[in-house]
Amino acid sequence: MSILHNNLTRRRSLALAAGALAVALGATACGGDSTSAPALPGKPAAGGDSVQAVIDAAPVATDAEIPAGSTMEAIRKRGELIIGGSLDAPLLAQQNPVSGQIEGFDADLAKLLAKYIIGKPEVKTVTIGTQTREAILQAKSVDAVFQTYTITPQRATQVAFAGPYLTSGLAVAVRKDETSIKSAKDLNGKTVIVGANTPAVTALPQVAPDAKQVAFATDPQAIQALLQNRGDAYVQDLTLLASGAKSNPGMKVVGEPFTSEPYGIGINREDAQFKEFVNNWLKKIQADGTWAKVWKATLGSVVEGDAPTPPVIGSVEGS
Is 19 near another protein (CB under 8 A)? Answer: no
Q: Say if residue 244 is exposed, middle or buried (CB neighbours under 10 Å; 0-12, 13-18, 19+).
A: buried
- Identity of residue 13: S
Is 207 near another protein (CB under 8 A)? Answer: no
Sequence-distant (≥ 6) Cβ neighbours of residue 17 within 8 angstroms: none
- Identity of residue 308: P
Distance CA 206, CA 112 (A): 36
**Pick from 40, 57, 74, 272: which binds another protein (CB under 8 A)?**
40
Distance CA 36, CA 49 (A): 13
**Pick from 120, 122, 183, 201: which binds another protein (CB under 8 A)?**
201
Shortest Å, Cβ 43 to another protein: 6
Cis status of the peptide bond prior to 220, with omega within 30 of 0:
no
Is 249 near another protein (CB under 8 A)? Answer: no
Is 131 near another protein (CB under 8 A)? Answer: yes
**Pick from 45, 214, 245, 303: which binds another protein (CB under 8 A)?**
214
**Pick from 35, 62, 179, 180: which binds another protein (CB under 8 A)?**
35
Q: How do strand 88-89 and strand 93-95 relate by DSSP bridges?
A: antiparallel
Q: Which stretch binds another protein (CB under 8 A): 168-176, 225-233, 253-261, 302-310?
A: 225-233
Is 39 near another protein (CB under 8 A)? Answer: yes
Is 4 near another protein (CB under 8 A)? Answer: no
Is 220 near another protein (CB under 8 A)? Answer: yes
Whether the Cβ atoms of residue 75 and residue 143 lie closer than 8 Å to each other = yes
First to last CA, the chain: 77
**Pick from 157, 188, 202, 273: which binds another protein (CB under 8 A)?**
202
The conformation of residue 221, written as its DSSP 8-state character, comes to: H
CA-closest candidate to residue 255, choices 167, 148, 166, 169: 169
Is 97 near another protein (CB under 8 A)? Answer: yes
**Pick from 52, 101, 221, 280: which binds another protein (CB under 8 A)?**
221
Q: Which stretch binds another protein (CB under 8 A): 111-119, 227-235, 257-265, 267-275?
A: 227-235
Residues 67-86 that bind another protein (CB under 8 A): 86
| Per-residue x/- track, 168-197, another protein (CB under 8 A) | -----------------------------x
Distance CA 116, CA 114 (A): 5
Angle at 106 between CA 102 and CA 107, to 5 degrees: 25
DSSP labels for 110-179?
HHHHHHHHHSS--EEEEE--GGGHHHHHHTTSSSEEEEEEE--HHHHTTSEEEEEEEEE-EEEEEETT--
Is 132 near another protein (CB under 8 A)? Answer: yes
Q: Which stretch binds another protein (CB under 8 A): 92-100, 105-113, 255-263, 307-315?
A: 92-100
Is 90 near another protein (CB under 8 A)? Answer: yes
User: Which residues lie near another protein (CB under 8 A)?
Assistant: 3, 6, 10, 17, 25, 28-29, 32, 34-35, 37-43, 86-90, 94-100, 126-129, 131-132, 135-136, 139, 141, 197, 201-202, 214-221, 224-225, 228-230, 247
